[in-house]
């Protein structure tokens, strides 16, 4: 069925290309700014993410000041040092070599937050799952990330941060949750494979191993799994992470 608004082949390919070639950028940022017109488009894409109950719980804190960014990087370095002992001893040497942020190298930083009071009088979709505002905000992050890839703008998500320390530094109210700290800017290149894969930290799990039928771990869907494996083997799905 064609609704008259269906994507053509080139449109579909563009969507999948953005998905499969998106990368978590840390090392490839260029010393170039982002035009306000481009940044506005990316934020508009984020603002059009799905949100349960149409709650739209997100806000976007743009951080350009280098002194503030250095303070955030100090938070990252402290948190990374705290995380190191939790890494398996045989992997700690590899962990130390990984570049896991581009806080000061990127054109700007962006914090995507979730205002947990914004929909308190409208429980639609949250009565049985009060975390849906957080999940909705993550959808906004994904929209931003994919739109950025289409604009050749790199994005890196810095998750190694002390949440409470970050809130104090950025004057974030108690009822607002910082969901994502993003490094954003033009890049020299997008890697063919995820950096954590090329560095030997991990590899993408086979899709067919993750497909279940009817119940958790339920056997079945053999035809679907075969198609997924064949597509992966012939390179129809380009890894993205």
How far is residue 62's CA from residue 112's CA, in Å, rounded to a whole number? 9
Residues 122 and 16 in one domain: yes
In a domain, 64, yes or no: yes
Instruction: List, in sequence order, every residue forming a beta bridge with 113; answer none if it has no partner.
Output: 59, 178
In a domain, 80, yes or no: yes
Dig out the tokens for 96 from the structure.
Answer: 């130390």
Pick from 111-125, 173-187, 221-235: least confident: 111-125
Q: Please state the length of the chain.
A: 241
Please name the residues in contact with 205: beta carbons below 8 A apart, sequence gap of 6 or more. Answer: none
In a domain, 236, yes or no: yes
Residue 81 vs residue 6, higher pLDDT: 81
pLDDT at 4: 63
pLDDT at 133: 93
Specify the 3-state DSSP secondary structure of 122. Answer: coil
Residues 214 and 123 in one domain: no
In a domain, 154, yes or no: yes
Dig out the tokens for 167 from the structure.
Answer: 């809130």
In a domain, 163, yes or no: yes
pLDDT of 58 above 80 = yes
CA dihedral over 154, 192, 22, 14, signed as positive or negative: positive
pTM of the shown model: 0.93
In a domain, 30, yes or no: yes
Q: How many domains does the chain have?
A: 2
Instruction: Indicate the average pLDDT of the chain.
Output: 93
pLDDT of 90 above 80 = yes
pLDDT at 239: 45
What count of Cα atoms within 13 Å lies in the side-chain half-sphere of residue 105?
Answer: 16
- Tokens 């190191």 correspond to 84
Domain that holds residue 120: 12-193
* Residue 127, domain CATH: 3.40.109.10
pLDDT at 65: 98
What is the share, in percent, of the chain residues with pLDDT greater than 90? 87
Residues 179 and 237 in one domain: no
Residues 28 and 142 in one domain: yes
Q: What is the pLDDT of residues 196-230, one digit of tens each?
A: 999 999 999 999 999 999 999 999 999 999 999 99
Contact predicate 211/228, CB 8 Å:
yes
> Angle 132-150/36-47 helices, nearest 10 degrees?
140
pLDDT at 183: 98
Residues 82 and 187 in one domain: yes
Residues 38 and 127 in one domain: yes
54: left (phi over 0), alpha (psi -120 to 50) or beta: left
Residues 164 and 184 in one domain: yes
Q: What is the CA radius of gyration of the chain?
A: 20
Summarize the confidence of residues 58-82 as an average pLDDT: 98
How far is residue 4's CA from residue 175's CA, in Å, rounded to a whole number? 43
pLDDT at 241: 46
Pick from 8-22, 57-71, 110-124: least confident: 110-124
Residues 183 and 214 in one domain: no
In a domain, 91, yes or no: yes
pLDDT at 232: 86
Residue 132 vs residue 3, higher pLDDT: 132
- Tokens 């709650």 correspond to 55
Specify the 3-state DSSP secondary structure of 64. Answer: coil
Residues 44 and 75 in one domain: yes
Residues 222 and 125 in one domain: no
Residues 74 and 157 in one domain: yes
In a domain, 119, yes or no: yes
- pLDDT band, very low/low/confident/very high, at 32 (cuts 50, 70, 90): very high
pLDDT of 156 above 60 = yes
Q: Give the max Cα distance, the chain.
A: 57
How deeply is 17 buried, as exposed, middle or buried, from its count of CB atoms within 10 A (0-12, 13-18, 19+)?
middle
Tell me how far CA of residue 139 lies from CA of 51, 151, 164, in angstroms. Answer: 8, 18, 23
- Tokens 């910082």 correspond to 178
How far is residue 169's CA from residue 221's CA, in Å, rounded to a whole number? 50
Residues 58 and 145 in one domain: yes
pLDDT of 189 above 50 = yes
Closest by CA to 144, choosing from 173, 172, 189, 181, is 181
pLDDT at 231: 87
pLDDT of 46 above 60 = yes
Summarize the confidence of residues 167-186 as an average pLDDT: 98
pLDDT at 240: 47
């Amino acid at each position: 069925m064609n609704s008259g608004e269906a994507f053509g082949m080139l449109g579909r390919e563009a969507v999948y290309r953005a998905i499969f070639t998106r990368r978590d950028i840390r090392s490839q940022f260029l010393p170039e700014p982002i035009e306000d017109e481009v940044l506005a488009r990316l934020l508009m894409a984020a603002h059009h993410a799905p949100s349960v109950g149409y709650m739209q719980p997100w806000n976007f804190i743009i951080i350009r000041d280098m002194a503030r960014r250095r303070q955030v990087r100090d938070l990252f370095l402290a948190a990374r040092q705290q995380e190191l002992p939790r890494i398996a001893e045989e992997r700690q040497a590899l962990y130390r070599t990984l570049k896991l942020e581009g806080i000061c190298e990127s054109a700007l930083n962006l914090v995507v937050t979730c205002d947990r009071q914004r929909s308190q009088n409208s429980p639609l979709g949250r009565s049985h799952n009060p975390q849906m505002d957080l999940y909705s905000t993550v959808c906004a992050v994904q929209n931003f990330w994919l739109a950025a890839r289409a604009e050749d703008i790199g994005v890196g998500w810095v998750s190694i941060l002390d949440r409470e320390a970050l809130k104090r530094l950025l004057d974030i109210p108690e009822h607002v949750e910082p969901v994502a700290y993003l490094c954003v800017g033009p890049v020299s290149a997008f890697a063919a494979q995820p950096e954590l894969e090329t560095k030997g930290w991990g590899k993408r799990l086979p899709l067919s191993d993750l497909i279940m039928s009817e119940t958790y771990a339920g056997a079945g869907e053999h035809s679907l799994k075969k198609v997924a494996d064949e597509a992966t083997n012939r390179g129809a799905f380009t890894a993205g992470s």
